[in-house]
Amino acid sequence: MLRGAFIVIEGLDRSGKSTQAAMLVSRLEGANVPVKLQKFPDRTTPIGKMIDAYLRSESDLDDHTIHLLFSANRWELAAQLEETLKAGITVLCDRYAFSGIAFSASKGLPYEWCRAPDRSLPAPDLTIFLDIAPEKAMERGGYGDERYEKEEMQRKVRELFRRMEEEITKDTHGVVGAWTTIDASQDKEAVAQDIWQVVEPLTDGCSNVIRRLWQQSPIP
């Protein structure tokens, strides 16, 4: 039996990640592809609750500490994610390690330091980056009250996502899987159509072993 595909949706705030993730789940289910949606941060776990309190400014944490908590939140769900893939179920993640790097590095933490804790996590087969200008994203009801939801921060985050895209395309850092950038300023249906074009080839499942993020050797 083929394993499920591991697909990640990334992007700036208000780029439509959650909207597109929900639309993609419906489309996959309609095509009889078993799929599990996983959101990061997963605010339901004990670590996720600490992250939630931080994002809502109910607690204050050192920048390094919150970065490691975001990564720990992925690690605590990594084994379950792998099991799901091996059971033949496609996993769709709404944000993943790339958000972790982009947001923490935009606060001034060293890029390589930010990347380190996520090394060896399951690597996605495909990352879909929803690209939108921060000023355009703001028109979608404006940013909310959480930390990071500021135009200047979003601008820096976009630059960091672009750096990752460049490195991944050149394969500078080893395994990351495929990366595709989609214009998220289009209407919802047009974005969904662009996403389906890159996802459809993965709907039969994957025969290759699950790789590890930023590492050359595969998971045994």
Binding residues for ligand Z5A, rule CB under 6 A, total 23
CB of 199 vs ligand Z5A, minimal distance in Å = 17
> Residue 82 or 149: which CB sits closer to Mg ion?
149
Look at residue 52 and give the partner it binds from Mg ion, ligand Z5A, none, a contact being a CB closer than 5 to 8 Å depending on partner kind. none
How many Cβ atoms sit within 10 Å of the Cβ of residue 142? Answer: 10
> Residue 3 or 17: which CB sits closer to Mg ion?
17
* 103 belongs to the binding site for ligand Z5A (CB under 6 A): yes
Q: Out of 10, 13, 42, 125, point to the residue binding ligand Z5A (CB under 6 A).
A: 13
* 25 belongs to the binding site for Mg ion (CB under 5 A): no
Look at residue 55 and give the partner it binds from ligand Z5A, Mg ion, none, a contact being a CB closer than 5 to 8 Å depending on partner kind. ligand Z5A
Q: Out of 10, 18, 24, 199, point to the residue binding Mg ion (CB under 5 A).
A: 18
Transcribe 49-72 into DSSP letters. Answer: HHHHHHHTTSS---HHHHHHHHHH
Whether residue 118 contacts residue 71, with contact meaning beta carbons closer than 8 Å, is answered with yes
* Two tokens, residue 132: 């939108």
| Gap between the Cα atoms of 113 and 38, Å rounded | 25
How far are the Cα atoms of 32, 159, 164 from residue 137, in angstroms, in the given order? 33, 15, 21
| Residue in the structure block whose two tokens are 């993730």 | 21
| Gap between the Cα atoms of 42 and 54, Å rounded | 13
Q: Which residues pair with 131 in a beta bridge?
A: 183
* 37 belongs to the binding site for Mg ion (CB under 5 A): no
* 55 belongs to the binding site for ligand Z5A (CB under 6 A): yes
| Gap between the Cα atoms of 101 and 161, Å rounded | 9
CB of 122 vs ligand Z5A, minimal distance in Å = 15
> Nearest to residue 126, comparing CAs of 4, 12, 2, 39?
4
Q: Which residues pair with 181 in a beta bridge?
A: 129
* 186 belongs to the binding site for Mg ion (CB under 5 A): no
Binding residues for Mg ion, rule CB under 5 A, total 2
Query: From residue 141 to residue 180, what is the string marking binding to ligand Z5A with x (rule CB under 6 A)?
Result: x------xx-------------------------------
Q: If residue 164 lies in a helix (H) or strand (E), which one and from where to where?
A: helix 151-170
Q: List residues binding ligand Z5A (CB under 6 A).
A: 11, 13-19, 40-41, 55, 70, 95, 99-100, 103, 140-141, 148-149, 187-188, 191
Q: List residues binding Mg ion (CB under 5 A).
A: 17-18
